[in-house]
Amino acid sequence: MGSFDTIKTINKVNRELGLSKKYLINVLIRNGRKMPHGDIISDDDYFFLINTLKEESVALKARKIAERYRDSFMFYFRSYNYYIITDYQKAIKVIEKESLLEESEELFKRFNSAFSEWERICRIPYFYFFNYYPKRRYKTNNLSMISLKARKLIYQFMDGSYDSFAPLFIEKLQATFAKEDIKKMCLVCNPASTNYNNRKRFKDFSNRVSFELGIEDSYEHIVVEKDEIPLYLGGSGEEAQLKIDKDFFHNKYIILFDILITKFSSLVKVINMLEECGAVIICMMSVGRTVPYGSESQSLIHPWTKTN
């Protein structure tokens, strides 16, 4: 490409992207291209510049959107860092959701305010009602009456009796969210490892809570398709296989619930499945959270009762 053609090329890039020759040359060098000889920029380098700079401009636009709608962005794109969006495909996803982010901004500001005192796990607000002390590790005579009642309540729920807990759960949600915001949500119970246990523990509970709060009940839309069979029962130890209704969960605001949390890895699979459907996990909640052994934590305050 001759000098005259190079000048035309630079002018063309300037018209398309509004950038100086010095900046263009810096982009080439920064991306491992050779320093142009004099004024000569090859056809190959020209097309490389066009593509690179367009991608950079897309990333810049995405960062501006993320900054403008920061609250809703942090909910829809938890794994993104709004001020270093450089990946082109991620930037495109942000730009495609600009109108949704704008519509959701005030809603998520209210959510952030509601969760100001909640713990965050993987950036998701988390609340549990009671500390759980396993029998095999904590002797009964070392625990308070509240802790013992909490343990019993958890056992009852796992056995299919949720009546003692459901009113607490409903009350907590009503105290946390405005009435009009609750109605935008969808309750998802983290499926048990077998279809039988999942139905026993969550079907009626999900139906009751959803009905009383006027929210969507997702029980029929995420099901255990294949049970987990533990090694000691002759199984392979493979996790239960779940089937999810992707269309149902698209753009849903999710309250993710489980009876007992020991390791949050048990929720990761469901979180990933829901987010792949385009759902947004607003918060996670559980009846209990297992207290680590040997932490001298029998005096821990239960989040719901404010007593140990």
Q: Determine the average pLDDT of the residues in 131-147.
A: 84
**Is pLDDT above 60 for 90?**
yes
Domain extent listing, the chain: 3-101, 115-290
**Is pLDDT above 70 for 1?**
no
Helix, strand and coil percent figures for the chain, each rounded to 5: 50, 15, 30
Question: Which one is predicted more confidently, 87 or 255?
Answer: 255
The pLDDT mean for the chain works out to 82
CA proximity to 115, closest of 190, 177, 73: 177
**Is pLDDT above 70 for 104?**
yes
Q: Say whether pTM exceeds 0.95.
A: no
Q: Which of 27-41, 64-78, 105-119, 287-301 has the lowest mean pLDDT?
A: 27-41
Cα–Cα distance, 201 to 161 (Å, whole number): 7
Question: Which one is predicted more confidently, 90 or 78?
Answer: 90
E strand residue ranges, the chain: 119-121, 124-132, 185-189, 216-217, 222-226, 241-244, 253-261, 280-290
pLDDT score at 290: 92
- List the structure tokens of 82: 């709004």
**CATH class for the domain made up of 115-290:** alpha beta
Q: What is the pLDDT of residues 182-225, one digit of tens each?
A: 998 999 999 998 999 999 999 999 999 999 999 989 999 998 88
